[in-house]
Amino acid sequence: MKRLLSSTTIRLFLGVVGGVIIGLLASEDVIGFILPIKHVLGQIIFFLIPLIIFGFITPSITRLKRNASKLLGISLLLAYVSCIGSASLGAFVGYMAIPLLNITPDAGVTNVVPEMLFKLDIPPLMSVLSALIFAFLIGLSVIWTNASKIEAALYEFQSLIFALVKKVLIPILPFFIAANFSILAYEGTLASRLPVFLAILLITVLCHIIWLSFLYISSGIYAGINPWKVLKYYGPVVLTALGTQSSAASLGVAIGQTKKSPVLKSDIRDFSIPLLGNIHFPGSILDVVFLSLAVSQLLYGTMPDVSKLLVFIPLLGIFAIAAPGLPGGTLITSLGLIHAVLGIDEAGIALMITIFALLDSFGTTHNITSDGALTLTLSAYSDKNNLHADS
């Protein structure tokens, strides 16, 4: 039982079920008690966002000097283009499909949520955009000045942030989700929104299959190799990703399984699979874009303008490359961007986190499985250009 409860998926699922049960049975006083808890947990999450951005992006930039080969540049380009492509697919399908779902804001509300008993605000140290620019400038300056002591400190700071994510952020997510679902159930909106949630799940899974198929087919065509010779070894990786919702947790399995593929060059595979496992999140970024449109329609009755998506998607691609390979890492890293560019408020972001938690198993599976396609492309590219990974 203890091992079962240690699964992130199980804890998140229990958060959903527990929240629904509490919301259906709760009185107004109980909901009044839950509201400030939800607010404080949300404030902690938002406080950590700039720290996560700086803690993960800055060390990633400083590492470029040790791997600044043409192969690394091609890997980063492939990862970024793949993320932008999947995000664009999510946006296109969202604009086409979401109006057909007949989503209306505040449908079926039967109970009014009471006023919050108290409100504790925890302002972040800096805005998300400030954290992003600060990360870029510090990372580049470390490279330019060869500041080895600062670089070592940045790696240690990244370890601290990673520990905060694992020890603080991930543990409070089930409670944050439970609070969200209890309020939805209390309002009476859950039953009316459940078909919408299921429709979102089915549409995003279909989009994952489409983009994953495109990556493998295109890589197979470029390499002149049947991509099934790579994809067929990903069965255990898929099961791990579905259970852990973590690309980082699935990485070890992916490294072991891809060693069995006879068509991947060993030096390229050993370089690209760990690298892509930490920078290539096309499934998660697809979910983020589609959910942004769906939640905006659900809460505000309209979707963001296409012009905003044209700014949002390229920036989101950068955030995706720097996101931690942890459950919900891509969404958590990009929450400030979602608010700043798309104008989705705290209520919308809370709902996005809630739905994303249910989708993340499929997005993570897409993330880690798609790395095999890009590795096949890199293997073929290195053969054609006589390139080798840095040792």
Q: What angle do CA 325, 329, 333 make, to 5 degrees?
A: 125
Q: What percent of the chain has pLDDT over 90?
A: 21
The stretch 315-328 carries a mean pLDDT of 72
Question: In whole angstroms, what is the distance from residue 102 CA to residue 107 CA?
Answer: 11
Residue whose C-alpha is closest to residue 370's, from 271, 288, 265, 258: 258
Lowest model confidence (mean pLDDT) among 60-74, 136-150, 194-208: 60-74
Residue whose C-alpha is closest to residue 290's, from 207, 212, 371: 207
Of residues 211 and 250, more confidence is placed in: 211
Q: Is the pTM of this model over 0.85?
A: no
Give the pLDDT score at 207.
94
Question: In whole angstroms, what is the distance from residue 150 CA to residue 262 CA?
Answer: 42
- The residue type found at 231 is L
Measure the N-to-C terminal CA separation of the chain; round to a whole number of Å.
43
Give the pLDDT score at 328.
67
Sign of the torsion formed by the C-alpha atoms of 380, 383, 387 and 390:
positive
Question: In whole angstroms, what is the distance from residue 337 CA to residue 315 CA?
Answer: 8
pLDDT digits (tens, 9 = 90+) for 18-44: 887 888 887 778 888 888 888 888 788
Question: In whole angstroms, what is the distance from residue 142 CA to residue 63 CA?
Answer: 10
Residue spans per domain, the chain: 8-385
Are 130 and 138 in contact by the 8 Å Cβ rule? The answer is no
Question: Across the chain, what does the average pLDDT equal?
Answer: 80
pLDDT band at residue 64 under the 50/70/90 scheme: low
Lowest model confidence (mean pLDDT) among 43-57, 242-256, 265-279, 376-390: 242-256
Helix (H) or strand (E) holding 249: helix 247-258
Give the pLDDT score at 68.
45
Q: What angle do CA 164, 168, 174 make, to 5 degrees?
A: 140
Residue 114 CB-half CA count within 13 A: 14
Q: What percent of the chain has pLDDT over 70?
A: 83
Lowest model confidence (mean pLDDT) among 134-138, 175-179, 187-191, 318-322: 187-191
Give the pLDDT score at 391.
45
pLDDT band at residue 242 under the 50/70/90 scheme: confident
Instruction: Kindly indicate whether the domain formed by 8-385 is annotated with CATH number 1.10.3860.
Output: yes
pLDDT digits (tens, 9 = 90+) for 89-146: 999 999 999 888 776 655 455 566 677 777 788 888 887 667 767 887 888 888 888 8
Question: Cβ-count burial of 304 within 10 angstroms (0-12 exposed, 13-18 middle, 19+ buried)?
Answer: buried
Residue position matching structure tokens 């951005």 = 53
